[in-house]
Structure 1
Amino acid sequence: MSGEQLAETLARQAHQAAGHDWPRAAALAAELRGRFPDHPAGYQIGSAAARELRRFDDAALLLTDATARFPRQAWPLVEAAWTARARGDLDQAARLAAELRERFETLPAGYQMGAAAARQLGRLDEAAAILAEGAARFPTHPWALAEAALTARARGETEAATRLAAELRDRFPADPNGYHIGSATARDRQDFDAAVAILAEAAQRFPAAPWPVVEAAWIARARGDAVAAIRLATELRDRFADLAAGYQIGAAAAREALRFDDAAAILAAAMARFPDESWPLDGAAKTEAARGDIAAALRLAAEQRRRFPDEPEGYQTGATLLRRAGQLDEAEALMRAAAARFPTEAWPAREAAALARLRADRTEAAHLATALRGAAPALIAAATWPARERVVVVVGMHRAGTSLCTRIVQHLGVALGGPLMPPAADNPDGYQELVPIVDCHEMLLDALGARWDTLHLLQPVPPSFWRGEPAAAARGRLKRIVAEQVAAAGGAWAFKDPRTARFLPLWRQVFEELGIQPVWLLSVRDPRAIAASLLARDGIPAPVGALLWVEHYLDALRHLGPDIAGIVHYEHWFTAPESQVARLAGLLGDAPAEAVEAARGAIRADLRHNAPAGDAPDAQPDGASDLARHLHAWLLAAPPDLARLQRQAARLWPAITALACSRPPERAPPP
């Protein structure tokens, strides 16, 4: 075999390995460069393989060499832009794409890459301008239409994205992007049947491609159909054994279905098949955490960091697990180490700051609990004054029975919509929380540098926050979510998320702008039971749990007051279920007798955990628990005077925050 024939044989074998066996493609490309250093395929395939294997520095070195060897060719610049995008350096990808457009203006890649990078950076007007120029230069290329659809989707313009994706399928039926984007956009608007229909057409048109099955499996997860997601993931593993998605989706779906042994078996197979990738270890750690074995999860996360020290997931998962275990110092130290290892990434410093704030909050909460000792009755006394579109919103503290209350509302004929958060080991009946609303609340908490268990009594939300950009973006998103859910439900829809209490000023504005008068239900549970539950599940100290309880119900009372349609006490579901169901049915309107009976049947004795023993005093009384006990007594009054409670809450909140801001004693005894 001549040298030229050997070079072409190596190049052909490397091309054949690319896409499904990247380590072999990398080895063949290296051999090609060693034997034939002036053959471009050795650098082109080698850099692509290094990129796919996340060896970005190796890819950059190869492309630097290629640029010097092939200065008049465009592909080294194209590959460099793809590599920058793959490693998350979107600014560099945008700069390289601009250079491509300047030096190789007849090449579509500069416009395609530039529009994609601008879109991912959120510079949507810039992306649109690049697309317009690219579409004018290359009217017969499908990518411009695909990028226009993706940009519309990024703007939240689902109708435009749907229309552009349909046009892409009509004009370029052999281009998979029209099906990809069309199904994803249908999923965004929760039209799962339309998404499945598009994917069925894609499966017929591209029978050898795995991605229609991958997308169908993701959609099954999104609509909460764990059985279908598991079946499709199994099909993926059977047909495409070397494709990671079958293992990733299968393990996640099994975990969400509480089939932890199945998830662990899938991830064990993934570890054997993908020994050079870190995600199977990450999934195994999350599976053990969902099972409740935090110690095993921490060991797996530590192994992930040891074997893959340059990948961030082991640090993120490890910090989350340490936080759940109450090891805040260790979690913060791990994030500091991540910040040193990933100096160009923003998330380690952000997470470390959030953990430091959480740790400080808990220390300050202990001081506040001490300061409140004996002061709670005086604060209460000072605050006390003398004596058919329907959206149902269940408001209350975490672990306060909001899930049970929402299930009863559903049995009484009010739809919950979807997709809902999957069940978990600590709530196997499901949280009944709408995923996009939870995501929106988490986005707002991130903007505040807070988490669900941050104490705003210690650091109140500034009034300017409600007028800022994050709140405005969330308001627009929540309005779309509510409008879509109400329309899909036929007019009667309910939702709950304990985080709602934190953002009631925003929610009131959302409903006012939509012209909706919601039915506010306040789900209340004994603060001692909640503190015990938070201590058992999250390692949150009892005084902190009590202050979180106080904060959530003061927020509800001062922002809603007389607009609360009903207060639902968790304990009454078990002591007086029939009267509680009947009262709730009366608040929501007439319900058929069979619906009321079904609602009663949903109340089971095994749902009651961490119940305090009658009126027994707290084992270690503290000021925070004392304050919570007084506020709970307010809410137990029958019937409560909500207008008076609103005034009392409005007076109590600044008194507590002022006490929190006062300097704690030098040596405060433990609460």
Structure 2
Amino acid sequence: MSARGRRAVLVLGMHRSGTSALARLLNLCGAALPEALVEAAADVNATGFWESRALLALHDEILAAAGGSWHDLRAMDAGWFASDAAAVFRARLGTLLASEYGAAPLLLVKDPRLCRLLPLWRPVLAELGIEPLVVLAVRHPLEVAASLRVRDGVGEGKALLLWLRHVLAAEQDSRGMRRAFVTYEQVLADAPGMVERLGRELGMDWPRAPEVAAAEMRAFLSPALRHHERDADEVLGNTAVPWEVREAYRWHIAAAAGEAPGDGLDAIAADLAVAEPLFGGALAALEDAARTRAAELRHWIDSAVERYEAIVTLRAFIEHQQREIDRLAAHARAIESSRMWRTMAPVRQALRRWRGRGEMK
């Protein structure tokens, strides 16, 4: 327990790994949500994201300041976390936590970007006297890849490397902290039992016992929450999936089962560290080209929208003028068919003859 008795449950997991469902289950057992949540999205996450809108925006700003993004395949520069820019963000993060959570004794923090930003968080929580309790969530990497393809159009190769980057960073940077591992299958199979286990492994009692919240948990969970379902052997026994991904997934399954999987992730991280200088420059060039192309596409779309809006405005004007013409024509026909118009016909004829004689002179 921290000196001030406050704790923060940090849910770490790659995007599309079931962290939203897990966060809601922990919230049902008493962990406090932030003040302003990201709105649910029917086509992405209809049951809610259960994460702070302001914190998500700050995380994106931090990643951009560090020269990356949530979908950057390169490792974060460890030296950046000791920079003056990082110090500014630490101060902002502390202020944001106070505004989003107030004096809540048990905070619930969930954002997949946290996997890569934990070194920024640790000193902030220490300064605030908040003890971090880490829950590392893992999902079948091919399921994650399929979900990312639907949501973001990310190809499978990039998605698998992103998955690997996130799980490696989360595991490495959370060492020395109280932590527990969980798979997406465990989240869906027995939510009350899973949350109770997490509490034991984190050395805490939930403010609301899982058995008390069990009915609400089961009502929240649904088989429909799981899309792109794959069997574990589709990764573990699939030589088309990179060895590093297979081994990292095997390691996390063992950790979530309470086994001691050893230091296999260090070897994987070392492999990536050796390989990154080879592909890092090429990736940077490709990402720069992609950003340039995206900017050109946005400009083209904006121009097309402006032209379309001008056409719509012109069409509306033409249609308005046509309606005026039709109205005046109908009015003229009504006059021509009136009794007064017929009565005045001799007068009009006399006027035409008189005008004719005047023109002849």
Is residue 263 of structure 2 the alignment partner of residue 656 of structure 1? no
Q: CA deviation at 1:578?
A: 4.2
**Structure 2 counterpart of 1:546, from 140, 151, 160:** 160
Aligned length: 269
Q: Is the 8 A contact 1:390 1:519 kept in 2?
A: yes
Give the secondary-structure state (helix, strand or coil) at the position aligned to 1:571. Answer: helix
Q: CA deviation at 1:619?
A: 11
2:11–2:135 CA contact under 8 A, matched in 1:
yes
Give runs of aligned pairs for residues 463-478 of structure 1, distance below 5 A. 463-478=78-93
The answer (yes or no) to whether the contact 1:392–1:495 under 8 Å persists in 2 is: yes
Q: Structure with the greater relative contact order (CA < 8 A, sep ≥ 6): 1 or 2?
A: 2
Compute the displacement of 1:641 (Å).
3.1
- Relative to structure 1, the CA distance from residue 663 to residue 613 in structure 2 (aligned partners, 3 Å threshold; closer, same or farther) is closer
SS in 1 for 2:182: strand
What code does the residue aligned with 1:474 have? F
How far apart are residue 614 of structure 1 and its match? 5.2
CA distance 1:471–1:605, change in 2 (3 Å): same
Q: Which amino acid aligns with 2:77?
A: P
| Aligned-partner Cα distance in 1 for 2:145–2:268 | 21
Q: Residue 640 and residue 418 in structure 1: after superposition, are their counterparts in 2 closer, same or farther (change >3 A)?
A: farther
State the alpha-carbon separation in 2 of the partners of residues 390 and 620 from structure 1: 40
CA contact (8 A) 2:28 2:217 kept: yes
Q: Displacement, 1:635?
A: 1.0
How far residue 564 of structure 1 moved from its aligned partner, in angstroms, is: 4.5
Are residues 1:396 and 2:13 paired? yes
Give 3-state SS (helix, strand or coil) of 2:40's partner: coil
SS in structure 2 opposite 1:391? Answer: strand
Give unpaired runs (5+ residues) of structure 1: 1-387, 665-671
SS of 1:518's equivalent? strand
Counterpart position of 1:633: 250
Partner of 1:423: 40
* Cα shift at 1:615: 2.2
What amino acid is the match of 1:446?
Answer: A
Q: Give, as a single letter, the amino acid of the residue that structure 1 aligns with 2:70.
A: W
Aligned partners of 2:35 and 2:101 also within 8 Å: no
CA change 1:621–1:641 in 2 (3 A) is closer
How has the CA–CA distance of structure 1 residues 444 and 551 changed in structure 2, closer, same or farther, with 3 Å as cutoff?
A: same
CA contact (8 A) 2:236 2:246 kept: no
Q: 2:126 aligns to what? A: 512
Aligned equivalents of 1:620, 1:630: Cα separation in 2: 11
**Residue 398 (structure 1) shift:** 0.2
> Could you say if the C-alpha distance between residues 635 and 524 of structure 1 is closer, same or farther in structure 2, counting changes exceeding 3 Å?
same
- Where in structure 2 are the equivalents of 1:140-155 lying within 5 Å? none
Which residue in 2 is equivalent to 1:451? 69
**Does the C-alpha gap of structure 1 residues 468 and 617 become closer, same or farther in structure 2, counting only changes over 3 Å?**
closer
Deviation for aligned residue 1:652: 2.9
Instruction: Tell me how far 1:660 sits from its aligned partner.
Output: 3.1
Q: How does 1:432-451 map to 2 (within 5 A)?
A: 432-451=50-69
Cα deviation, residue 496, structure 1? 0.4
Contact kept, 8 Å, 1:391 with 1:486, in 2: the verdict is: no
Distance 2:214 2:111 in 1: 24
Supply the AA of the counterpart residue of 1:473: V
Q: How does 1:518-597 map to 2 (within 5 A)?
A: 518-586=132-200, 587=202, 588-590=204-206, 591-592=208-209, 593-597=211-215
Amino acid at match of 2:19: T
In structure 2, C-alpha distance between the alignment counterparts of 1:534 and 1:600, rounded to whole Å: 26
Cα distance change of structure 1 residues 618 and 464 upon mapping to structure 2, 3 Å threshold: closer
- Specify the SS of the correspondent of 1:616: helix
Residues 251-400 of structure 1: matches in 2 within 5 Å? 388-400=5-17
- Equivalents in 1 of 2:52, 2:135: separation in Å? 17
- Measure, in 1, the Cα distance between the counterparts of 2:134 and 2:64: 26
Question: Contact 1:485/1:493 (CA < 8 Å) preserved in 2?
Answer: no
Contact 1:581/1:600, CA 8 A, preserved across alignment:
no
Give the C-alpha shift of residue 505 in structure 1.
0.9
In the superposition, relative to structure 1, how do residues 548 and 555 fare at CA in structure 2: closer, same or farther (>3 Å)? same
Q: Distance in 1 between matches of 2:236 and 2:152?
A: 20
**Structure 1: which amino acid aligns with 2:265?**
A
Structure 2 CA distance for partners of 1:594 and 1:573, relative to 1, 3 Å? same
Shift of 1:662: 2.9
Amino acid aligned to 1:657: A
**Deviation (angstroms), 1:617:** 5.5
**Does the CA-based 8 Å contact 2:33-2:108 persist in structure 1?**
yes
The amino acid that maps onto 2:117 is F
Q: Does 1:480 align with 2:90?
A: no
Gaps of 5+ in 2: 281-361
SS state of the match for residue 23, structure 2? helix
Contact (CA 8 Å) 2:125, 2:131: kept in 1 or not? yes
Structure 1 residues 615, 653: closer, same or farther in 2, change over 3 A? Answer: closer
Specify the SS of the correspondent of 1:533. helix
In 1, Cα distance between equivalents of 2:238 and 2:268: 24
What is the CA distance between 1:506 and its match in structure 2? 0.8
Distance 1:504 1:614, change over 3 A: closer
Residues 498 and 614 (structure 1), Cα distance of their counterparts in 2 relative to 1, 3 Å cut: closer
For the pair shown, the structure with the greater C-alpha radius of gyration is 2
Q: Is the 8 A contact 1:393 1:521 kept in 2?
A: yes
Work out the CA distance in 2 between the residues paired with 1:524 and 1:606.
19
Deviations 1:455-506 (A, max 9, x none): 12xxx333331122321111001111223444343x1211100000111111
In 2, are the aligned partners of 1:417 and 1:485 still within 8 Å (CA)? yes
Q: Which residue does 1:316 correspond to in 2?
A: none
Whole-Å Cα distance in 2 between the matches of residues 614 and 504 of structure 1?
Answer: 28
Please list the CA deviations of residues 432-461 of structure 1 after superposition, one character each: whole Å capped at 9, or x if unmatched. Answer: 1112211111111211332211112xxx33
TM-score by length of 1: 0.38
Query: What is the letter of the counterpart of residue 69 of structure 2?
Result: R
Which residue of 1 is the match for residue 304 of structure 2? none
State the match for 1:616 in structure 2: 234
For 2:68 and 2:81, how far apart are their aligned partners in 1?
15
Amino acid at match of 1:589: D
Give the equivalent residue in structure 1 for 2:309.
none
Which whole-Å CA distance do the structure 2 matches of 1:660 and 1:597 have between them?
48
Which TM-score applies when normalising by structure 2?
A: 0.68
CA RMSD of aligned residues (A): 2.4
User: Deviation at 1:538?
Assistant: 1.3
Q: Percent identity?
A: 31
What does the per-residue CA deviation read over 1:566-599, in whole Å, with 9 as the maximum and x for residues that have no partner?
1121112233344213323544414344324322
Judged with a 3 Å threshold, the aligned counterparts in structure 2 of structure 1 residues 474 and 621 are, in CA distance, closer, same or farther, namely same
